[in-house]
Amino acid sequence: MNDTVANKEAKTPAKRVGAAVWYLLLPLLILAVWEFVCHTGIFQSYTMPAPEAVIRAAVDGIRDGSLAKHIGASFLRVLEGFLIAAVCALALGVVTGLSKKAECFFELVIQILKPIPPIAWIPLAILWFGIGEPSKLFIIYLGAFFPILLNTVSGIHNLDGKYLELARVYEVDKLRLVTKIILPGALPEILTGIRVGLGNAWVCVVAAEMIAATRGIGYMLSNGRSLSRPDQVILGMLLIGIVGKIMDDILKFISKKIVKWA
Amino acid sequence: MTHTAVSLRGVSKQFDDLSVLSDISLEVPEGEFLSVIGVSGCGKSTLLRIIGGLEQQTAGEVLVDGVAVKKPTRNTGFVFQDHRLLPWLTVEANIKLGLDKKTPNQDEIVQQNLELVGLQEFLGSYPRQLSGGMAQRVAIARALANRPKILLLDEPFGALDAMTRIHMQQALREIWEKEKITMILITHDIEEAVYLGERVVVLSSRPGHIKKIVDIPHVCHVIRTGTEFSETRDKIYREFFRDENVALDYNI
Ligand SMILES: Nc1ncnc2c1ncn2[C@@H]1O[C@H](COP(=O)(O)OP(=O)(O)OP(=O)(O)O)[C@@H](O)[C@H]1O
Ligand SMILES: [Mg+2]
């Protein structure tokens, strides 16, 4: 409701420009302060480069294709790990959400594994899978798995009891109860889980790549540190943030398209 | 010789140590329109939910079509106070969800019942595209689609504005006249009870039991403004309030 009102207000061009300025004001301020501080000479340029140095690094990276290579590598890893995790977590989530017995069976293990951050698995992952691709995928998988699982289960549990009562009154069969009532009812929460899961996967890929990799944004960071290239490090961090936001925006958009009724 | 559609014999209901219904006995002949009226919290919904099989009585017997009620069935239609349409399904899919999967000619059934409530063009609409009154009519169509022998309505128009409510009451009355389904309507609106019910059951509260059953003259179902109507209405009003000056607002 508020959303549509805001949208209507933003319709006039003047207000639209105003909103855009307001939206970009803080980042521009930060940029200005950053620029200013760098020119006062408080920091050495080899610890804190000026914005233009980061821009130069970005331009160089685009020119020689290294930027696309690193982003592409990280993105593909995330996609692979995330998709495997999403399939597993959805399947397990639906089963544990629907069946008390299954929930009881899995609950303790899930609750103990859940608080362990994926990064804490890195040493074990390296021992098990070595430093190649599988260990990175494993970490990404863990990052995406739990948010999707937990949101799927809670989405199913939180379904309004009045719809279950409706199903009783109309003697809706089990199959249709699940496919037409329970799953669509849980869908908004499941989609939230998927968004959080993808965000986590993106965090995990960087962490995994910082350990051992020859490409990817995480590699850009660790490589930038060993070459004493803070501009490259900051560029890498900004890319993590920007790509993460874009991915989340895309998922948010897709969710809105799917959950038309909310 | 009429058949008995619903018969309650000494029905009581207890929630923990709260006695909600006490010793309710009532016979509803087939094809009757029965209104049940009572103050808020007197156990009207509980009574209807027991007849519908959504709740179990603590004592007594509940028979629908001569058979003890154990759980809800499609033969007993239930219209809730909220329309309870699934927001992610179209009107058509909502109605079909209420049908047995094996029912043949489902499209035709959906069409017929939407026509009955005057919403045949809204087949493909989503609930959010309907007004409150339209959504409630779809809910009635969904209940009717199963050809239930009995239709239970729990304050189905309670959330609607006065104008829409009157239209809905007329529409429901027409459906009842056409389909000859036994209907039990819960309401706290005396006018609604009198206009629709052939008999009005007045429930007392704490615990709810039958205080009085009022036979409604047929003319009340035709003219809502005549003296006969207001006299009947006042009679029921006095079951709840003692004063002689009848208040303007008949909602209790
Ligand atoms: N599941 C339940 N558990 C415990 N108490 C309940 C339950 N359902 C209803 N009650 C109690 O039973 C009493 C009657 O409730 P009921 O919903 O039948 O009233 P009602 O006549 O339909 O009221 P209203 O007109 O407000 O809908 C209330 O005091 C309520 O608190
Ligand atoms: Mg009620």
- In chain A, residues with a C-beta closer than 8 Å to the C-beta of B92 are none
Q: Per-residue pLDDT tens for A163-172? A: 999 999 999 9
Average pLDDT over residues A19-33: 92
Contact between residue B209 and residue B47 where contact means Cβ atoms under 8 Å apart? no
Contacts of B191 (CB under 8 A, 6+ apart): B224, B233, B250
pLDDT band at A211 (very low <50, low <70, confident <90, very high): confident
Q: Per-residue pLDDT tens for B173-209? A: 888 888 889 999 999 888 899 889 899 998 887 888 8
Higher-pLDDT residue of A35 and B249 is A35
Average pLDDT over residues B95-119: 87
Element (H, E) at A148: helix A133-157
Residue B251: the pLDDT is 57
Residue A44: the pLDDT is 77
Residue B115: the pLDDT is 85
- Asked if the interface predicted TM-score (ipTM) of this complex is over 0.95, the answer is no
Contact between residue A231 and residue A54 where contact means Cβ atoms under 8 Å apart? yes
Residue B184: the pLDDT is 95
Q: Is the pTM of this model over 0.90?
A: no
Top residue of A163, A169, A180, A255 to mutate, by most chain B CBs within 10 Å, is A169
Give B232 to chain A, closest Cα distance, Å.
34
CB contact under 8 A, B73 and A171: yes
- Ligand lying closest to the C-alpha of residue B252: 1
Candidate from B73, B84, B126 with C-beta closest to A162: B84
Ion ligand 2 residue ranges (Cβ < 5 Å) = B 45
Instruction: Tell me: pLDDT of A7 over 70.
Output: no
Residue A16: both structure tokens together: 């639209």
Would you list which residues of chain A are within 8 Å, Cβ to Cβ, of chain B? 162-163, 165-166, 168-173, 176, 180-181, 184-185, 187, 259-262
- In chain B, residues with a C-beta closer than 8 Å to the C-beta of A259 are 88
Instruction: Tell me: pLDDT of B246 over 80.
Output: no
Interface A-B, measured as beta-carbon pairs within 8 A, has a size of 51
Give B3 to chain A, closest Cα distance, Å.
24
Candidate from A165, A170, A184 with C-beta closest to B98: A170
How many residues comprise chain B? Answer: 252
**First vs last C-alpha separation in chain A:** 11
Instruction: Tell me: pLDDT of B65 over 90.
Output: no
Residue B21: both structure tokens together: 């219904």
Q: Per-residue pLDDT tens for B208-239? A: 888 888 888 777 778 878 887 788 778 878 77
Q: How many CB atoms lie within 10 A of CB B160?
A: 18
pLDDT band at A155 (very low <50, low <70, confident <90, very high): very high
